[in-house]
Amino acid sequence: MCVIICVENGEFPSKETLKSAESLNSHGGAIAWLNKDGTKSYRKGIKASKMWKLIQRQLAPNHVTTAIIHFRIASVGGVKPQLCHPFEITEEVTLNMKAVKTTKELLFHNGTWNEYTDALLGFLKVQKTPVQIPKGDYSDSRIMAYLAFQLGHTELNKLVDGWNKIAILTSEGIVKYGSGWVNHKGNSCSNDHFVEDRFSFSGFWGGSENGYSTIQAGADDYITLGDEAIKDKLRSVYRMDDHDIDDMLSYGYTLDDILCEKEEMQQDIWDEQDARCRNLD
């Protein structure tokens, strides 16, 4: 189902809350925040532990008060780090994994928009001249960002109905669409299924809960067309051999998990080196 957690007054979720949200939405986490100059920055495809470190080491010390956190469970587009939210509201809707001080608005989505192909085709049919559409992997949320660029937030909201919820990080703050937002410990959330006493494991993974249709996930949902590309990167960049990769897979990791862990470790090294350089200065 995914979950969006909006931080609007500097009250970030606890480490335990982040891990609880991730436990139910384990296909990729992300955080975007509003800088003092009105630009936005984000990191996506990261785990709750990395997100907590980022909050403690960078956002809180710099007095960031506005941010959006998202944990994804894939329903459209497969389990791929590049399909984690947010998506930049641009014509290209690039699949960047991070950005620093971008002027682009950022879109987060909770729900499943089954009509996204019809909406995209409907938009294209009325264009008098050919228009560019995003290249690469698609999801309903990525198409939302594209249509938000072409039509605007308000018109997009008219197209997206049902229990879908959208949060957009703008230079002025957070704009939310959809009904049923709930408050959890000072944060506006798209749902509170991650709260322990609200969660029913059997209900979440099949059938329905609280009136919402839910998604049946199986082992095949963790296999992606990009597996060989991920393996190549693990071999060439992180110097892993097939035995190392198979060993981690046998412990229940997915290839995406292995890559994310390696990238997080590398980022930690860079962060430590950067901190040392600042101390020398």
Domain boundary among 169, 187, 219: 219
pLDDT value of position 214: 31
Structure tokens at 188: 């506006």
pLDDT value of position 227: 76
| Residues 178 and 113 grouped into a single domain | yes
Q: Does pTM surpass 0.85?
A: no
pLDDT digits (tens, 9 = 90+) for 121-132: 999 999 999 888
For residues 33 and 99, the answer to whether their CB atoms sit within 8 Å is no
Domain boundary among 219, 247, 267: 219
Assign residue 214 the CATH number of its domain: 3.60.20
Higher pLDDT, 240 or 102: 102
| Residues 55 and 16 grouped into a single domain | yes
| Residues 138 and 268 grouped into a single domain | no
For the chain, percent of residues with pLDDT exceeding 70: 81
| Residues 12 and 110 grouped into a single domain | yes
Closest CA to 65 of 12, 3, 103: 12
pLDDT value of position 78: 74
Kindly report the average pLDDT of the chain as a whole number.
83
Domain boundary among 188, 204, 219: 219
- Strand, helix or coil for residue 145: helix
| Residues 238 and 253 grouped into a single domain | yes
Residues of the domain holding 25: 3-219
DSSP assignment of 44-84: EEE-HHHHHHHIIIIITTTT---EEEEE---SSS-S-GGGS
Phi and psi angles of residue 242, each rounded to the nearest 5 degrees, phi first: -60, -35
pLDDT band at 208 (very low <50, low <70, confident <90, very high): very low
| Residues 167 and 257 grouped into a single domain | no
Phi and psi angles of residue 100, each rounded to the nearest 5 degrees, phi first: -125, 120
pLDDT digits (tens, 9 = 90+) for 188-199: 999 998 886 554
pLDDT digits (tens, 9 = 90+) for 77-89: 778 888 999 999 9
pLDDT value of position 212: 30
pLDDT digits (tens, 9 = 90+) for 160-176: 987 899 999 999 999 99
**Tally of domains in the chain:** 2
| Residues 273 and 188 grouped into a single domain | no
| Residues 205 and 182 grouped into a single domain | yes
The most confident of the ranges 86-95, 248-257, 271-280 is: 86-95
| Residues 70 and 186 grouped into a single domain | yes
pLDDT band at 261 (very low <50, low <70, confident <90, very high): confident
pLDDT value of position 216: 32
